[in-house]
């Protein structure tokens, strides 16, 4: 039934082609499809990539891997899936995660409802027929009663705004648009522009293979060791036997990670005890040093200065040349106030003879040339340029679709001064549209939040199905109250005083040089409690018709 609509243009007078259209076939879109099928809805997913996986389909750059523990990241909804899938490492690499999502898509026969290579360019609400008309880049259009966006918080890549990017005659890639065939680095002169989480993973992975690597750094980040390991047979059994408790823990922690803040404050312990605790965290796998540190490191400036000082000392110990080490120590933000890249031998890369660090705040890039990169001190020739320049985060993938709600109101316009939502899921003026991992949702260990959001949306759509509702819209009051709440939660957080993707700041995107409150920064359990209450009180903030 669904497939038969593929080339038929939408007709405004006929019933919608589908009950629901989902945009995006990453972790969010796949699970939402699975759940809506359970309701017996006619669902179609449109995905711009040529296969499933989202983040893990696009980000094929060398060294791409989790910083969530693999088993805490996978879906929890199917016991059979949990039993069948073996993660090979505590922090799996991208190829394995992509294999996992392919396995999921195959196991639940999801692909038959997904149309690949189908970029959605516009979605326009038709009030008369209470449906969404969704236009694809190829000129086709389809309609659905409900529109669910699963377009990713980190899925709209941004290239740097440097003159001449297109003029380079060698090979160049954005890390999130990495070619599907392996790139040979042997004997090559390579540039990496950007030292965020992606840049760090790329740099530490290719440094040993390239002839020469030049890293162009604007803002150093506070990186901490990943301490990844293979999972042996015994550990595999323990992980599988412990899944219920592990997922329960993820439900209870602040950001759905296995780690959660220590109950003590930084200055409640002696200097020796504090140093030993920092040392222990630095030696442990994963985000413990960020998410499981003293409870006040991200709110108390003095506490933050101490952990920053600890990590700075580690950087200086690991990098031989003190001048280079100094460049690698962040000066404009404290530890953990931006996303902490987890690394494996990253700092030691700068001890290699074939690696050079260029601090572009001292030596600015003037332009990309045919042969390489021209800085204020001269031109450097490269064979390959890698742009690890990240994403127009959270709202970027929304801005790239022309969403128009009631009366033609554009979402981009509605969010001109920053996103306004209800629970991060609904926006007034945009009836029958639900967002997964949109602005103002709890992120953290994201799949745990995805499963919650998808389940919440599914219950709402079940209600619509049972009561034959054709229109669901949040009230303006509901949106204002939630948006104010989200903004209030951000007050006092040091991370909200820093330019980063988490504050919606991006020098490479026009108009995004003002900080916004892009994400919900309370605890995930508090977020879920609020959403549960909204459902329990029968959606008082929604107008249902
Ligand atoms: C390199 C990297 C590492 C990460 N590591 C972790 C981690 O360890 N732990 C963690 O919790 N999170 C991590 N994340 C965040 C990650 O994005 C989420 O964990 C999760 O994959 C998000 O899933 P999603 O389905 O919501 O979005 P995505 O996976 O981004 O999927 C969105 C999909 O929507 C499609 N799409 C977007 N716009 C359109 C359009 N207009 N038309 C059609 N299709 C469209 C995209 O092509 C994409 O396939 C990482 C992100 C990156 C980039």
Give dist(CA 372, CA 320) in Å, integer.
Answer: 28
Buried b (16+ CB within 10 A) or exposed e, 196-215: bbbbbbbbbbbbebbebbbb
The residue to mutate among 22, 50, 54, having the most atoms of ligand 1 within 8 angstroms of its beta carbon, is 54
Tokens 């200086």 -> residue: 316
Q: How far apart are the first and last CA of the chain?
A: 27
Q: What is the pLDDT of residue 2?
A: 33
Model pLDDT for residues 353-384, shown as the tens digit of each residue: 999 999 999 999 999 999 999 999 999 999 99
518 touches 503 (CB < 8 A): yes
CA distances from 471 to 426, 428, 460, 543 (A): 13, 12, 12, 8
Show the ligand 1 pocket: residues with CB < 6 angstroms. Answer: 23-29, 46-49, 54-55, 57, 59, 64, 66-68, 73, 119-120, 150-155, 198, 397, 400-401, 436-437, 445-446, 450
- The pLDDT tens digits for 523-538 are 999 999 999 999 999 9
DSSP code at position 283? T
Instruction: Give the DSSP per-residue string, 449-514.
Output: HHHHHHHHHHHHHHHHHHTT---EEE-HHHHHHHHHHHHHHHTT-GGGGS-SGGGT--TTSTT--S
pLDDT tens-digit series, residues 233-273: 999 999 999 999 999 999 999 999 999 999 999 999 999 99
For the cut 90, the answer to whether the pLDDT of residue 482 exceeds it is: yes
Instruction: Encode pLDDT of 32-70 as tens digits.
Output: 999 999 999 999 999 999 999 999 999 999 999 999 999
Q: Which helix (H) or strand (E) is 214 found in, with range?
A: strand 212-217
Average pLDDT over residues 154-176: 95
- Summarised one tens digit per residue, pLDDT across range 401-435 is 999 999 999 999 999 989 999 999 999 999 999 99
161: which 2 tokens? 């705004």
Is residue 513 within 8 Å of residue 505, measured between CB atoms? yes
Please check whether residue 228 is in contact with residue 91, taking contact to mean a CB–CB distance below 8 angstroms.
yes
Confidence of residue 7 (pLDDT cuts 50, 70, 90): very low
Sheet holding 372-375, edge to edge: 365-368, 372-375, 378-381
Cα–Cα distances in Å, from 271 out to 138, 276, 281, 307, 313? 63, 9, 15, 12, 16
Beta bridge partners of 262: 294
pLDDT > 80? residue 88: yes
**How far is Cα 473 from Cα 323, in angstroms, rounded to an integer?**
57
d(C-alpha 226, C-alpha 223), whole Å = 9
Q: What integer pLDDT is reported at residue 471 of this predicted model?
A: 98
CA 144 – ligand 1 centroid, Å = 23
Q: Is the pLDDT of residue 1 over 80?
A: no
Ligand 1 centroid, distance to 501 Cα (angstroms): 14
More confident residue, 419 or 13: 419
Percent of the chain with pLDDT over 90: 90
CA 444 to ligand 1 center in whole angstroms: 13
Residue 13 pLDDT class (50, 70, 90 cuts): low
Tell me the CA–centroid distance for residue 49 and ligand 1, in Å: 12
Q: Which atom of ligand 1 is nearest to the CA of 59?
A: 1
Cα of 540 vs centre of ligand 1, distance in Å, is: 31
Looking at residue 373, its pLDDT comes to: 98
Confidence class of residue 5 from pLDDT cuts 50, 70 and 90? very low
Residue length, the chain?
Answer: 545
Report residue 508 as tokens: 């490479």
Helix axes 446-466, 243-252, angle to 10 degrees: 90
pLDDT reading at 458 higher than 80: yes
Looking at residue 140, its pLDDT comes to: 97
């Amino acid at each position: 039934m669904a497939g038969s609509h593929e080339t038929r243009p939408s007709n405004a007078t006929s019933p919608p082609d589908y009950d629901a259209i989902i945009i995006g076939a990453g972790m969010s879109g796949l699970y939402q499809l699975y759940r809506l099928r359970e309701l017996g809805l006619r669902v179609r997913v449109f995905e711009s990539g040529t296969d499933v996986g989202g983040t893990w389909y696009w980000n094929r750059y060398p060294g791409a891997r989790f910083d969530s523990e693999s088993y805490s990241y996978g879906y929890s909804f199917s016991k059979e899936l949990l039993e069948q899938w073996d993660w090979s490492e505590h922090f799996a690499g991208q190829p394995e995660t992509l294999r996992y999502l392919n396995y999921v898509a195959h196991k639940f026969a999801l692909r038959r409802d997904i149309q690949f290579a189908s970029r959605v360019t516009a979605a326009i609400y038709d009030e008369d027929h209470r449906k969404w008309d969704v236009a694809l880049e190829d000129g086709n259009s389809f309609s659905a009663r409900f529109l669910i966006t699963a377009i990713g918080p980190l899925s709209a890549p941004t290239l740097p705004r440097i003159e001449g990017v297109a003029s380079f005659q060698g090979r160049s890639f954005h890390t999130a648009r990495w070619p599907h065939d392996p790139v040979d680095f042997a004997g090559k002169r390579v540039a990496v522009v950007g030292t965020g989480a992606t840049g760090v993973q790329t740099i530490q992975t290719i440094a040993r293979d390239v002839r020469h690597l030049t890293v162009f750094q604007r803002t150093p980040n506070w990186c901490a060791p990943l301490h990844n390991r293979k999972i042996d047979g015994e550990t595999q059994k323990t992980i599988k036997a412990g899944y219920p408790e592990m997922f329960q823990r993820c439900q209870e922690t602040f950001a759905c990670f296995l780690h959660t803040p220590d109950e003590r404050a930084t200055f409640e312990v002696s200097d020796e005890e504090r140093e030993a605790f920092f040392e222990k965290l630095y030696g442990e796998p994963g985000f413990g040093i960020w998410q499981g540190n003293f409870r006040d490191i991200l709110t108390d400036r003095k506490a933050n200065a101490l952990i920053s000082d600890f990590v700075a000392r580690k950087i200086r110990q690991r990098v031989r040349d003190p001048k280079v080490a100094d460049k690698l120590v962040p000066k404009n933000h404290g530890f953990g106030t931006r996303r902490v890249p987890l690394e494996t031998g990253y700092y030691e890369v700068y001890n290699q003879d074939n690696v050079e660090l260029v601090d572009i705040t001292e030596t600015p890039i003037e332009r990309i040339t045919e042969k390489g990169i021209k800085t204020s001190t001269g031109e450097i020739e490269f064979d390959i340029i890698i742009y690890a320049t990240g994403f127009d985060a959270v709202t970027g993938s929304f801005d790239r679709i022309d969403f128009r709600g009631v009366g033609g109101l554009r979402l981009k316009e509605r969010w001109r001064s920053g996103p306004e939502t209800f629970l991060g899921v609904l926006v007034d003026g945009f009836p029958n549209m639900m967002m997964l991992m949109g602005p103002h949702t709890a992120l953290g260990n994201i799949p745990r939040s995805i499963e919650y959001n998808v389940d919440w949306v599914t219950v709402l759509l079940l209600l619509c199905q049972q009561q034959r509702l054709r229109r669901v819209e949040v009230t303006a009051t509901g949106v204002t109250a939630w948006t104010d709440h989200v903004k209030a939660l951000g007050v006092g957080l040091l991370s909200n005083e820093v330019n980063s993707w988490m504050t919606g700041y991006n020098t490479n995107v026009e108009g995004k040089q003002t900080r916004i409150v892009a994400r919900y920064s309370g605890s995930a359990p508090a977020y879920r409690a609020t959403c549960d209450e909204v459902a329990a009180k029968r959606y008082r903030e929604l107008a249902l018709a």
